[in-house]
Amino acid sequence: MRSIKRIPTLKGVPVLVRAALNVPVENGVVANTFRLRQALPTIEYLQKKGAKVILAGHITGNGTESLAPMYEAMKKFIPLLEFSPITVGKEARDAVRNMKPGDVLMLENLRRYKGEEANDPHFAASIAELADVFVQDCFDVCHRAHASVVGVAGLLPSYAGFLVEEEVKQLKRALKPKRPALAIIGGAKFSTKEPVLMALLEDYEHVFVGGALANDFIQAKGCSVGASLVSDAPRDEIAGILANPELIIPTGVVVASPDARASEGRAVLISQVASDEAMLDVGPASIEALQPLIKKAKTILWNGPLGRYENGFTAGTFALAKAITESRAHTILGGGDTVAALDSLGLTPKFSFVSTGGGAMLDFLAKGSLPGIDALG
């Protein structure tokens, strides 16, 4: 993986940057700019070197969404930023041709084209023809073998931007943590979390599971989970991980009816969940049990929320964040919803490193690399 600093010539050179533009949008306005801010060092470096900077990115959705809100938000950081409503083809080529050294152009949503997620070689070539150099600076998509991630990298001289370089450096460090080490994995989808749980249980003294992910383990322990969300994963696989002495599950949870808001929740022990209640957050007893481990830890890795974030069940996540940011450990945070929530409270600067990756971070920790990283050579 070659650093952006190794690009021999940049003045007047069109450089395609796969940028981290996938941010939450509410009512047509960007709700959190964390990822956009993380993209700035690479963009500003290329600008100062006189490159023609072409930003390519996506937004999660059904393929019809526009990056226009990201453009408006990014203009606050890059006032001379321009926007192309077309991603590939003659109109996009003309827009690039009219750029001057130091200009920055954002292309429309890559995922408006089916060839992007299919890694279609013709679509990859149509993106690549816009530039002479490719810079991968979107870590949160590096676990996807998409056209703009791996296809273009095989067609142009390719380099890692500053964000991707730092992500890889920090997550490699997390794979060999200073001990004692504590990992916290939240969110849902046991199937996507199982590989990283297995990997972390090899290298971390303690691995705590929260969020809907914990429901599977609480059920496997023999407790009633009421109306809580559980996966259809094989029970023997869940029981096998539960048997690992390094795994920690919540002792206390917050319960309410499945569609309730946070104000309707009540804290109980995991043995006290009623049949019509769902576990929607970790409770104070769980946070209290983690306190001694947090204080002793030299490394703390955290990915994913501990409660149903979209319904306002954030108390457990915020309480955990407060405890972690008061520790002396090297702290690594990841997961889109978790990062956005803590960034809104001004807590992200208190972590040693904050990853822009959710699934990409988990895949890297499980496998040690990603398709988008390998494609850089």
Summarize pLDDT for 193-231 with one digit per residue, the tens.
Answer: 999 999 999 999 999 999 999 999 999 999 999 999 999
Helix (H) or strand (E) holding 352: none
The residue behind tokens 């306190």 is 291
| 75 pLDDT tier (thresholds 50, 70, 90) | very high
| 23 pLDDT tier (thresholds 50, 70, 90) | very high
When the pLDDT of each residue in the chain is averaged and rounded to a whole number, the result is: 96
Q: What is the pLDDT of residue 277?
A: 97
Mean pLDDT of 88-117: 98
Share of the chain above pLDDT 70, in %: 100
Mean pLDDT of 85-111: 98
Q: What is the pLDDT of residue 309?
A: 86
Q: What is the pLDDT of residue 345?
A: 84
Query: What is the Cα–Cα distance from 99 to 77, expressed in whole angstroms?
Result: 19
Q: What is the pLDDT of residue 341?
A: 82
Q: Where are the beta strands (DSSP E) in the chain?
A: 14-19, 25-26, 29-30, 52-56, 82-84, 104-107, 133-137, 158-160, 181-185, 206-209, 247-248, 252-256, 266-269, 278-282, 299-303, 330-334, 353-354
Q: What is the pLDDT of residue 368?
A: 95
Q: What is the pLDDT of residue 14?
A: 98
Task: Give the CA-trace dihedral at 174, 177, 180, 182, to 10 degrees.
Answer: 10
Task: Give the CA-trace dihedral at 22, 25, 28, 34, to 10 degrees.
Answer: -70
pLDDT at 338 over 90: no
Q: What is the pLDDT of residue 255?
A: 98
Q: What is the pLDDT of residue 366?
A: 96
Q: What are the residue boundaries of the structural domains of the chain, listed by start?
A: 4-162, 169-367
Entry field: residues in the chain: 377
Alpha-carbon separation of residue 353 from 18, 85, 217, 348 (angstroms): 21, 34, 29, 8
pLDDT in tens, 283-335: 999 999 999 999 999 999 999 999 998 899 999 999 999 999 999 999 999 98
Is the alpha carbon torsion for 171, 172, 176, 179 positive or negative?
A: negative
Class of the domain covering 4-162: alpha beta
Query: What is the Cα–Cα distance from 291 to 166, expressed in whole angstroms?
Result: 29
| 189 pLDDT tier (thresholds 50, 70, 90) | confident
Q: What is the pTM of this model?
A: 0.94
Domain 169-367: assigned CATH number: 3.40.50.1260
SS3 45: helix
Tokens (6 digits) for 223:
């407790």
Query: What is the Cα–Cα distance from 19 to 40, expressed in whole angstroms?
Result: 9
Mean pLDDT of 167-187: 97
Contact status, residue 165 vs residue 136, Cβ threshold 8 Å: no
Q: Do 4-162 and 169-367 have matching folds?
A: yes
